[in-house]
Structure 1
Amino acid sequence: MNIKMIKERASQIQNMNRSQYMRILLMIVLLELIPNIFNIGEDILSRLLYLVMSIAFLTVSHGYIVSSLKMVRNQSQSLKDDDAFVGFKRFKELFSTYILINIFMMAVLFIVAYILLVIIGVFLSQSLQGISGEMLLTGNYAYILSYILKHSPQTLSMFVLCYFVLLIILFFVSSYLFAVPYLLERFHMKNLKAMKASFSLMKGHIFEYFKLYLSFFGWIFLMVIIQSFIAELLSFLPVLGSLIAAIIAGVISVYSYLPRFHLAQAIFFEELAYHRYEQTNTYNGDDQYV
């Protein structure tokens, strides 16, 4: 699969009904930030409220899938503002699949993090042998950290290595699940059926997807830097400052790389689906998987 050609095609497609498509993306970006408004405290009630809102907005991102597929499948004229709210309108239909993906990813995160923490713990226990129990109880973490760096610098290296290993594994697993929302939209597959189909569809194409994602990494990283910088400038407004920073970064994303990013992903899926389903006659003309 030619990643360069996919990105070039995405650049061409985004010019079709561009203003409407970007408006939809902007609305979705802003909708995704709403749960953060409720992340205002450390108490149980605040955490519970934030969790409830996060679950309520779990399917909002499906608007990206619907609008991007319309663009890629030459249906750009049918784009409408309502596409940004499809995650709410079809919540009952979409929720079970999206929650299953999130539960699966959290389970993978927990297992991998636990294993890595055990590994780090072995190094850490060796590093802390020269520190008294009284010092540990005092909470003088600056001293403890300096002691570890002085007597066991490899512990820090191990921690950094484990962190990157965790990120790589999570990206690897999420890549296998990349096609799930597209399969849900195009072929009406749900839950485990969609997940199994996505694993099968992505087999042998993970590196290609990695190259596609990596080609946008510069933009993604830049948005993280911009958001962090603005949040730091507005640190005197704890919650509001972070929200403003996220909104600004989101708006910049929509007017820079985000349309091409989502279109490229939709094209990537369409090429995979064409070779798997349409060429093999396991697909009829009504977008139904058989």
Structure 2
Amino acid sequence: MNISMIKQRAREIAQVNKASLSRICLIIGIITALPSLLNSGNGIMYVIHLIISVLLIATEQGNVVAGLKVVTNREQELSDNDGIYGIVNWIEYLPTYLTKVLVNFVVAIIFVIVIVACSIGSFGGILTLVTDPYSVSPIKGVITGLSALSGMLVFIAFIAFLFVIVWVNLRMFAMTYLHQEYGIKGFAALKESFNLMKGHCSDLLFIDLSFIGWMILCGILSSIIGFAFGDNGITGLLGSVLSAALGAYTYLPAYITVHALFYKEIAYKFYDEGRI
């Protein structure tokens, strides 16, 4: 797969349709930022925050819809309504997005358990050796010393967690596209996406990393905006709009276009073989 050609083609398509794609990305960005305006620190506000987050869980589907339109020569169908596509069709796409959230949650829980276990062993062992190193038997001393080394395992487990969570999300990349094009949803989409992305995770990672400069820059500027405007009330909303506009009018049009084009490239063979 020629990643450079895919990126070049995506940039050309995105440039032609930048105005429409930018508006759609801005709408999605603003909608996605809305839950952050609520104080989720206590009581009823936390519940409201959680409910709104669930209701907006499929908002990103608008990017999938817009991206597929421009890479399949249907750019004339682009509409600002694509920005609210995931909300309007929330019930339809809920199973697929919930599946993605569930998979990430399970992976996170497993690693939290491992890290906590390593931490307990580490701190307990170190404390014993430091406070009373001569009161333990040789065998117990060896065991305690080994437990002290578990501090290294905490770091290793954390690095492993980052690696696994990135790999899992790369393998789940095609789920929303498969749902959009073929109606494959939930765990069926998960399974098919894992099959479709086999051997292509490094390609997608390379594509994503090529945007890392823009992501970092927009992240820094968004942090400055958040500090200046706060995260509550009218000023907080204005800050969220400005932050959303940063990505929408810089790299996001090309980003969602190259993702859609990449998906079409890897799905083409599956489609020809009649697997999908």
**Partners in 2 of 1:272 and 1:36 — Cα distance?**
36
Q: How does 1:89-100 map to 2 (within 5 A)?
A: 89-100=88-99
Please state how far the C-alpha of 1:90 moved relative to its aligned partner. Answer: 1.2
**Partners in 2 of 1:158 and 1:221 — Cα distance?**
29
Residue of structure 1 aligned with 2:173, choices 168, 171, 178: 178
Q: 1:153 to 1:246 in 2, by over 3 A?
A: farther
Amino acid at match of 2:175: V
Please state how far the C-alpha of 1:224 moved relative to its aligned partner. Answer: 2.1
Q: Which residue of 1 aligns with 2:256?
A: 262
**Partners in 2 of 1:229 and 1:126 — Cα distance?**
42
Q: 1:43 to 1:69 in 2, by over 3 A?
A: same
Q: 1:260 to 1:153 in 2, by over 3 A?
A: farther
**Partners in 1 of 2:201 and 2:173 — Cα distance?**
10
Q: 1:92 to 1:227 in 2, by over 3 A?
A: same
Q: What TM-score do you get using the length of structure 2 for normalisation?
A: 0.85
2:121–2:150 CA contact under 8 A, matched in 1: no
After superposition, what is the alpha-carbon deviation per residue over 1:123-168, rounded to whole angstroms, capped at 9, x for unaligned? 2333444479xxxxxxxxxxxxxxxxxxx9995x765554333222
Q: After superposing the two structures, state which structure 1 stretch, 60-69 or 214-223, moved more.
A: 214-223
After superposition, what is the alpha-carbon deviation per residue over 1:52-91, rounded to whole angstroms, capped at 9, x for unaligned? 0000101111000001100111110111111111112211
Please state how far the C-alpha of 1:43 moved relative to its aligned partner. Answer: 1.4
Corresponding pairs, count: 259
Q: Which residue of 2 aligns with 1:231?
A: 226
| Structure 2 unmatched ranges of 5 or more | 133-147
Q: What SS class does the counterpart of residue 16 from structure 2 fall into?
A: coil
Identity %: 27
| Structure 1 unmatched ranges of 5 or more | 133-151, 283-288
**Partners in 1 of 2:40 and 2:265 — Cα distance?**
45
Q: What TM-score do you get using the length of structure 1 for normalisation?
A: 0.81
**Partners in 1 of 2:154 and 2:223 — Cα distance?**
23
Q: 1:244 to 1:172 in 2, by over 3 A?
A: farther
**Partners in 2 of 1:223 and 1:114 — Cα distance?**
34
Q: Which residue of 1 aligns with 2:20?
A: 20
Please state how far the C-alpha of 1:121 moved relative to its aligned partner. Answer: 2.9
**Partners in 2 of 1:127 and 1:249 — Cα distance?**
45
Q: What SS class does the counterpart of residue 58 from structure 2 fall into?
A: coil
**Partners in 2 of 1:120 and 1:2 — Cα distance?**
44
Q: Which residue of 1 aligns with 2:273?
A: 280
Please state how far the C-alpha of 1:215 moved relative to its aligned partner. Answer: 1.1
The 4+ residue runs of structure 1 with deviation greater than 6 A are: none
1:63–1:83 CA contact under 8 A, matched in 2: yes
Q: Which residue of 1 aligns with 2:136?
A: none
Q: How does 1:202-217 map to 2 (within 5 A)?
A: 202-217=197-212
Q: Which residue of 1 aligns with 2:122?
A: 123
1:36–1:243 CA contact under 8 A, matched in 2: no
Q: Which residue of 1 aligns with 2:3?
A: 3
**Partners in 2 of 1:42 and 1:86 — Cα distance?**
30
Q: What SS class does the counterpart of residue 15 from structure 1 fall into?
A: helix
After superposition, what is the alpha-carbon deviation per residue over 1:79-104, rounded to whole angstroms, capped at 9, x for unaligned? 11111111122112111221121112
2:63–2:83 CA contact under 8 A, matched in 1: yes
Q: How does 1:1-290 map to 2 (within 5 A)?
A: 1-38=1-38, 40-129=39-128, 130=130, 155=151, 161-234=156-229, 237=230, 239=232, 244-277=238-271, 279-282=272-275, 289=276
Q: What SS class does the counterpart of residue 15 from structure 2 fall into?
A: coil
Aligned Cα RMSD in Å?
A: 2.4
1:17–1:77 CA contact under 8 A, matched in 2: no
**Partners in 1 of 2:197 and 2:154 — Cα distance?**
31
Q: Which residue of 1 aligns with 2:139?
A: none
Q: What SS class does the counterpart of residue 60 from structure 1 fall into?
A: coil
Amino acid at match of 1:6: I
Q: After superposing the two structures, state which structure 1 stretch, 157-166 or 194-203, moved more.
A: 157-166
2:36–2:231 CA contact under 8 A, matched in 1: no
Q: After superposing the two structures, state which structure 1 stretch, 203-212 or 192-201, moved more.
A: 203-212
